[in-house]
Amino acid sequence: MKIERLCNFYASKYHLSTILLEYLKEENNKKMKVTTFFQDEIEDEINRLIDKYNIYNMEGIDFKITKNIYEKKIDLAKNNIFIVEGNLNYINDANEYILDNLKKMTNAKIINCYNFSHQKLYMKEIINKSDKILFTRGEKTID
């Protein structure tokens, strides 16, 4: 099992939505299954950007709040990208749930998304626990 951990710091819901749409546009070409865990819904922002630019196909990706992490279904038959957004406790709980369910998977990416203004004191710790950082222009390996 290969799990790659990415972190992302965003300034607003629109900023996060732009980063995710750009990233998912590229990753969807690789036929990855995208599973989301959102403490704060970004569906409205995503839909506005999709409507405005009319270039993204994000069917089947849920951008709504995940009220109960432990009821979310994880497709073990596919390579997965997990997008987790929320406070530190929410992200830790979702990551624990994901890792408990990935026993048979070969490839997975977990993208943990943090609101910069809420988590700026913990950035160094967050970055140290990650393999890469996700920016608007893509992934960057942490040196």
List, run by run, the mean pLDDT of 10-residue segments along the chain (143 residues): 91 93 77 90 90 74 93 83 95 94 78 90 91 90 85
pTM over 0.85: yes
Which two structure tokens, joined as six digits, stand for 31?
């036929």
Angle at 100 between CA 111 and CA 88, to 5 degrees: 45
Please, what are the domains in the chain?
A: 2-141 (3.40.50)
Query: Looking at residue 136, what is its pLDDT?
Result: 83
Per-residue DSSP letter, 17: H
Summarised one tens digit per residue, pLDDT across range 84-96 is 999 999 999 999 9
Query: Looking at residue 58, what is its pLDDT?
Result: 77
